[in-house]
Amino acid sequence: MLLSRRDVLRFAGIFPLAALFGCTTQDPAEESETDLTVGASHTPHALILNGPVRELLEAEGYHLDVIEYEGYDEPNSALAEGELDATFYEHRPFLDEWNGANGANLESLCAVHYEPMGIYSQELTSMGQVEKGATVAIPADPANRARALLLLEQERLITLSDDAGTQAVPANIVENRRDITLTEVPAEELSEQLSEVDLVVMPGNIAMENGHSPSDALAAEPLSSLLSDVYENLLVVRAGEGEKPKLQALAQALTSQEVHDYIEQSFGGNVVPVFQPPEPTPEGE
């Protein structure tokens, strides 16, 4: 039966429209206490979640749904809007910048791993081959852009002002020894620039997703640097929700011995755990 607009308006006074058309809306109070939906980039985050984390959560009675994203803004937007329970893909400077730019209040629940950023080239085999006037592609997002500039400074291609730090922008360059030209590109598109420029500075996860690794890089962040603390990857949730049992279970799974071993065995040193798993409980306790 087709309803006219008049019929719809008449029935709306008797029945809610959602009921009339067989639609229902979920009451926030009915949120599942055992279902977890997490947004992540594919490598290594979704691999970790779909591997040992899923097994650990299922053993505790939780169901995990992992949604993979290519871009860097979409997961946090989905989390802030209530479409996700958590995200797992970003480091602290990116989270802080995203919160500030979007008037949001997402927060870290735990730190899991670090992925060293590297400098890659399709033609060059060493940093010593970088010629005057070289072109360099770096991430466009502010947090990773600053990180790329710090790595270029580490390799003595540029010098930044003393106050630049993790907020560095190209305007902070006070010396450009080889007169390099910088091009800012969305992080997920950086690998495509290898055929277009002399050097590409890529975050570790973007490099791995495109078949590269720090072992292929002309230069990379040292694992023992202070940057490994600054850029450790986080499990992120909405402010005030971190004590939910299902999110606590997720955090415990991500910082477990099983995940620590999985990271060390699966990524050839390109992903480094930054947490110490809990000591096993002695038998009988």
What's residue 9's pLDDT?
A: 36
- 66, β-bridge pairs: 38
Q: What is the dihedral of CA 118, 123, 126, 130, to 10 degrees?
A: -90
104, HSE (Cβ side, Cα atoms, 13 Å): 23
Fold assignment, 35-115+231-273: D-Maltodextrin-Binding Protein; domain 2 (3.40.190)
What's residue 278's pLDDT?
A: 86
Q: Is-same-fold flag (35-115+231-273; 118-222)?
A: yes
Cα angle for residues 25, 29, 30 (degrees, 5° grid): 65
- Distance from C-alpha of 156 to C-alpha of 30, rounded to nearest angstrom: 56
Task: Look at the alpha carbons of 260, 142, 93, 217 in this order and tell me if their dihedral is positive or negative.
Answer: positive
Instruction: Report the run of H or E that residue 17 belongs to, with start and end.
Output: helix 17-20
What's residue 25's pLDDT?
A: 37
Cα angle for residues 138, 142, 36 (degrees, 5° grid): 105
Fold assignment, 118-222: D-Maltodextrin-Binding Protein; domain 2 (3.40.190)
Tokens of 33: 């206490």
Tokens of 47: 């691999």
What's residue 240's pLDDT?
A: 96
- Distance from C-alpha of 260 to C-alpha of 164, rounded to nearest angstrom: 34
What's residue 3's pLDDT?
A: 39
What's residue 122's pLDDT?
A: 96
Lateral strand order in the sheet of 219-220:
181-185, 135-139, 199-202, 118-120, 219-220
Q: Which residues contact 162 (CB under 8 A, 6 or more apart)?
A: none
> Can you spell out the DSSP letters for 57-90?
HHHTT-EEEEEE-SSSSHHHHHHHTTS-SEEEEE
E strand residue ranges, the chain? 35-40, 63-68, 86-91, 106-114, 118-120, 135-139, 158-160, 173-176, 181-185, 199-202, 219-220, 233-238, 272-273
- Distance from C-alpha of 201 to C-alpha of 147, rounded to nearest angstrom: 9
What's residue 281's pLDDT?
A: 63
- CA separation (Å) from 283 to 59, 276, 278, 280? 20, 21, 15, 9
Give the pLDDT of the chain (285 residues) as one tens digit per residue. 333 333 433 333 433 333 333 333 344 445 789 999 999 999 999 999 999 999 999 999 999 999 999 888 999 999 999 999 999 999 999 999 999 999 999 999 999 999 999 999 999 999 999 999 999 999 999 989 999 999 999 999 999 999 998 889 999 999 999 999 999 999 999 999 999 999 999 998 899 889 887 778 999 988 766 677 889 999 999 999 999 999 999 999 999 999 999 999 998 888 999 999 987 766 555
What's residue 268's pLDDT?
A: 81
What's residue 29's pLDDT?
A: 40
Domain segments of the chain as ranges: 35-115+231-273, 118-222
